[in-house]
């Protein structure tokens, strides 16, 4: 068996690799981890293995700006010269087939074997597949990677009718983009409201009204029975989405956005503990010594809520990457970042800070009709989350309040951002 290291790998007297950190997955988490390892002073060999052949890029624009112009290029995370200058070996278009936690090696699909001293799994998530007749028809799309977005963009260029299955973030972002480029769009959502798992009722109903204002037809409490092809059969291109009520909604293209599942395949095959994601502790350590994991693929102890959960956000992946870099180098690391997320849907910027568990009270501020407002979410007297629509300043303030453990009074909220800033400053945090 030939075992190779990355560039700069130090080989000890007995011929084994001394220090070689390998990161599997070059998405938001993997690239940040490589960056942070170098920032933390790690000088050993460092390899980033990516199944995706593209130079690593930002994923959020794929459902937004990238779809608007046929010639829009992916927004890269770092230029190639960054990886060169930092001596990070980037293996693009290279899939890890298996890992061996005992031998501390991994095998690529091309058969090559690499040895590692520490391993970081940053394998992300994969779109949940729709399991109804016709879901494999040509013209049914999923969206995760740049190649998916390119295909969706090309194939919807001439489409008149687009059906989006799933009224979550990705579905609604694509729906808004498509509607604003003149397509007839229908969103089909099984739950009783849009973004039901992610935002409070006021934000949910505001966004429904906004999307309807863009001309989008929104169907909630509606399931999909099947996707039918040309002439009603299951061959050829997609023709219609048939709801569980029996309505056939015309479709030249269908986007399925019904959530994502953590990519735990490598970890599970290697016997690493997985439970709604690769299970890690507060220092991003998995159940296997020397193996760490971050981002969309992990479930972790969320300290503020006291729950074990999984998050899908750029913030979570990059903050965990910083934490894992420290932990891999044997430094104190304790993941306790305030969770935050954004979603741009047409002219609406939704931002969420904190996680809305055990909510028993919500306080609104701002102007719902004008589409600029904030919803403060409380559990008892404690502020646990803040959702804003087109109020980025208040979102930032919310993140600082949550980090400081500061809960504003209703009067302070009613007085507005200036009063909140003053109250936060009085609490000892510079706003």
Ligand X SMILES: Cc1cc2nc3c(=O)[nH]c(=O)nc-3n(C[C@H](O)[C@H](O)[C@H](O)COP(=O)(O)OP(=O)(O)OC[C@H]3O[C@@H](n4cnc5c(N)ncnc54)[C@H](O)[C@@H]3O)c2cc1C
> Mask of contacts with ligand X, 189-218, x by CB under 6 A?
------------------------------
Q: Least separation, in Å, of the C-beta of 62 and ligand X?
A: 4
Binding of residue 362 to ligand X (CB under 6 A): no
Closest to ligand X by CB, 145 vs 226, is: 145
Counting Cα atoms < 13 Å in the Cβ hemisphere of 147 gives 6
Q: Can you tell me the distance from the alpha carbon of 327 to that of 298, in angstroms, rounded to the nearest whole number?
A: 16
CB 160 within 8 A of CB 73: no
> Mask of contacts with ligand X, 98-137, x by CB under 6 A?
------------------------xxx-------------
Q: Least separation, in Å, of the C-beta of 33 and ligand X?
A: 9
What are the contacts of 240-247 at 24+ separation with CB within 8 A?
A: 241/163, 241/165, 241/186, 241/188, 243/188, 243/219
Binding of residue 24 to ligand X (CB under 6 A): yes
Closest to ligand X by CB, 52 vs 387, is: 52
List of residues 6+ apart from 213 with CB closer than 8 A = none
Stretch that binds ligand X, among 160-168, 175-183, 306-314, 397-405 (CB under 6 A): 306-314
- Indicate which single residue of 29, 166, 277, 366 sits in contact with ligand X (rule: CB under 6 A): 29
Closest to ligand X by CB, 22 vs 163, is: 22
Binding of residue 266 to ligand X (CB under 6 A): yes
> Mask of contacts with ligand X, 54-83, x by CB under 6 A?
-----xx-xx--------------------
Binding of residue 383 to ligand X (CB under 6 A): no
Q: Can you tell me the distance from the alpha carbon of 267 to that of 409, in angstroms, rounded to the nearest whole number?
A: 46
Binding of residue 143 to ligand X (CB under 6 A): yes
CA distances 350 to 356, 388, 406, 417, Å, are 15, 6, 22, 17
Closest to ligand X by CB, 107 vs 234, is: 107
Q: Least separation, in Å, of the C-beta of 199 and ligand X?
A: 13
Cβ–Cβ contacts within 10 Å for residue 281, how many? 15
Q: Least separation, in Å, of the C-beta of 206 and ligand X?
A: 18
Q: What are the structure tokens assigned to 231, written together?
A: 């002439």
Binding of residue 287 to ligand X (CB under 6 A): no
Closest to ligand X by CB, 281 vs 415, is: 281
Binding of residue 20 to ligand X (CB under 6 A): no
Q: Can you tell me the distance from the alpha carbon of 30 to that of 327, in angstroms, rounded to the nearest whole number?
A: 15
- Indicate which single residue of 177, 204, 243, 343 sits in contact with ligand X (rule: CB under 6 A): 343
State the residue number with the nearest CB to ligand X: 27
Binding of residue 170 to ligand X (CB under 6 A): yes
> Mask of contacts with ligand X, 30-59, x by CB under 6 A?
x------------------xxxx------x
Binding of residue 95 to ligand X (CB under 6 A): yes
Q: Least separation, in Å, of the C-beta of 190 and ligand X?
A: 20
CB 288 within 8 A of CB 117: no
Q: Least separation, in Å, of the C-beta of 194 and ligand X?
A: 16
Binding of residue 280 to ligand X (CB under 6 A): no
Cα-Cα end-to-end distance for the chain: 58
Burial track 101-138 (b if 16+ CB lie within 10 A, e otherwise) = beebbbebeeeebbbbbbbbbbbbbbbeebeeebbebe
Q: Least separation, in Å, of the C-beta of 93 and ligand X?
A: 9
Q: Can you tell me the distance from the alpha carbon of 18 to that of 5, in angstroms, rounded to the nearest whole number?
A: 9
Task: Give contact residues for ligand X (rule: CB under 6 A).
Answer: 24-30, 49-52, 59-60, 62-63, 95-96, 122-124, 143-144, 170, 263, 266, 295-297, 312-315, 317, 341-343
């Amino acid at each position: 068996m030939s075992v190779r290291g990355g560039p700069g790998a130090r080989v000890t007297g007995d011929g084994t690799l001394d220090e070689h950190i390998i990161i599997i997955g070059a998405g938001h988490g993997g690239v940040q981890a490589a960056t942070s390892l170098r920032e933390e002073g790690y000088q050993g060999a460092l390899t980033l293995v990516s199944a995706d052949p593209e130079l690593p890029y930002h994923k959020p624009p794929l459902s937004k700006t990238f779809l608007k112009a046929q010639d829009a290029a992916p927004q890269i995370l770092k230029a190639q010269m960054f990886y060169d200058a930092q001596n990070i070996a980037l293996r693009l278009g290279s899939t890890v087939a298996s890992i061996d936690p005992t031998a501390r090696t991994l095998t690529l699909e091309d058969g090559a074997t690499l040895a590692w001293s520490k391993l970081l799994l940053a394998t992300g998530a994969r779109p949940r597949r729709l399991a109804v007749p016709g879901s494999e028809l040509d013209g049914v799309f999923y969206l995760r990677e740049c190649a998916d977005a390119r295909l969706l963009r090309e194939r919807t260029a001439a489409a008149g009718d687009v059906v989006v299955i799933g009224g979550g973030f990705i579905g609604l972002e694509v729906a808004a983009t498509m509607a604003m480029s003149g397509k007839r769009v229908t969103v089909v959502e099984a739950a009783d409201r849009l973004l039901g798992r992610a935002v409070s009722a006021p934000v949910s109903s505001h966004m429904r009204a906004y999307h309807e204002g863009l001309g989008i037809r929104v169907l909630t409490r509606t399931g999909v029975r099947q996707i039918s092809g040309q002439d009603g059969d299951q061959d050829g291109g997609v023709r219609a989405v048939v709801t569980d009520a029996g309505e056939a909604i015309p479709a030249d293209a269908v986007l399925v956005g019904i959530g994502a599942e953590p990519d735990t395949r490598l970890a599970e095959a290697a016997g690493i503990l997985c439970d709604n994601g690769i299970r890690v502790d507060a220092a991003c350590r998995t159940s296997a010594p020397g193996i760490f994991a971050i981002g969309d693929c992990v479930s972790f102890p969320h300290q503020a809520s006291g729950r074990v959960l999984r998050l899908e956000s750029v913030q979570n992946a990059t903050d965990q990457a910083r934490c894992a870099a420290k932990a891999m180098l044997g430094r104190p690391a304790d993941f306790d970042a305030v969770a935050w997320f954004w979603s741009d849907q047409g002219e609406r910027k939704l931002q969420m800070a904190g996680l809305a568990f055990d909510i028993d009270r919500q306080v609104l501020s701002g102007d719902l009709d004008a589409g600029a407002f904030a919803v403060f979410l409380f559990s008892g007297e404690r502020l646990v989350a803040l959702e804003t629509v087109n109020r980025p300043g208040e979102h930032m303030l919310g993140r600082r309040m949550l980090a400081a453990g500061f809960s504003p009074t209703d009067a302070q909220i009613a007085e507005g951002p200036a009063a909140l800033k003053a109250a936060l400053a009085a609490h000892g945090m510079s706003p």
